[in-house]
Structure 1
């Protein structure tokens, strides 16, 4: 569901090109709240393009492979292999690229649960947003994330005349500063998810 913001006029006739930037970890959390649907990512890309009313140039998907101990357990190997196959599938889609950071083990919580920290994912996404803006490749950006660390890169893109859309679900809301920084909001609903599911 698309929501106009800040009294802006319709952008229907301002058609150039769109890059989509997806924080894979955040999107996984959204899908887990919505029952873990099996998504056709090409349908997701097309749905976003229709909402923005601009043809998609490229999609960038950011994540990291699961942690493996030394030596890895059978369960860790299996989880790593499944995630690798998934990333390969995403990168094989037309004009779709996967950017991988790394996952660092940070010990255990008081509840004895392992603590992991993503490294480089935010930096990679921010750099790609800024590069797209400075190279004037695109006129629109669609962002799926919750992290306010992207605000400077978004502001840079806006200063270059790029219109920035933020997509999120009511189940997991992004940081307030990120919402404020983006030009327009698109809410992802269960009805929308059903359009994107694998048939």
Structure 2
């Protein structure tokens, strides 16, 4: 039985999961993430042993930020999103064989911006500035160190021969060098973009692409495998 490490780009997973399966409580979301990862251990012809689930993300931001529509400063440390994210990470910490790899947030360059779809509507003239609401804005906060941690862990797992397979849940072509390295070291490298389209260059440098369906439904994965 081969040993598998599952690496989760948390920022990508949370955004994509909300788009696909809606909003859930922190406990429900943590349970769903764990269940989703475990589905990767069963394939038609192979059974895999879990080495560890590595979850990469950043702790929620606590700073105060000026909201251009409200005309006042908002304390993000008292927001619903801060409370949700804090509890979500706490729930993951309690899961067996789940390791958190947390980066940091670029607090100095954070600000509220209009959501992209709202910008398009404004430019098209389908809505007016007077129609904008608080929910049309979102904080633009860049993560620091997350991609680097993923790359370092892929290299370490590969060079030390700690696993036979790496499953990366992500959708970014920035991981092409890490995928190539893992394959050169004889690691079976599988990408899970949660059903999203991926860059052709990234597809060229992986051994397989697989997504595992809706983790909030019971039963086996209804996802698809390629390659």
> With structure 1 as the length reference, what TM-score do the two structures score?
0.79
Which stretch shows the higher mean deviation, 78-87 or 160-169? 78-87
Pick one of 91, 110, 130 that aligns with 2:155: 130
Bigger Rg over Cα = 2
Q: Which structure has the higher relative contact order (CA within 8 Å, separation 6+)?
A: 1
The 2-side partners of 1:60 and 1:31 are apart by 17
Aligned residue for 1:76?
77
Does structure 2 conserve the Cα–Cα contact (< 8 Å) formed by 1:138 and 1:162?
yes
Pairwise CA RMSD? 2.5
What is the DSSP-based 3-state SS (H/G/I as helix, E as strand, rest coil) of the residue aligned with 2:41?
helix
Q: How does 1:5-154 map to 2 (within 5 A)?
A: 15-36=1-22, 38-39=28-29, 40=31, 41-51=33-43, 53-70=47-64, 73-78=74-79, 79-104=81-106, 105-109=109-113, 114-154=139-179
Correspondence 1:186 to 2:210: yes
The 2-side partners of 1:195 and 1:186 are apart by 19
Q: 1:84 to 1:195 in 2, by over 3 A?
A: same
The 1-side partners of 2:57 and 2:110 are apart by 18
Q: How does 1:166-177 map to 2 (within 5 A)?
A: 166-170=191-195, 172-177=196-201
Q: 1:76 to 1:56 in 2, by over 3 A?
A: same
Q: 1:101 to 1:35 in 2, by over 3 A?
A: same
> With structure 2 as the length reference, what TM-score do the two structures score?
0.70
Deviation at residue 61 of structure 1 after TM alignment: 0.3
Q: 1:25 to 1:73 in 2, by over 3 A?
A: same
Deviation at residue 80 of structure 1 after TM alignment: 2.5
Matched residue pairs, number? 180
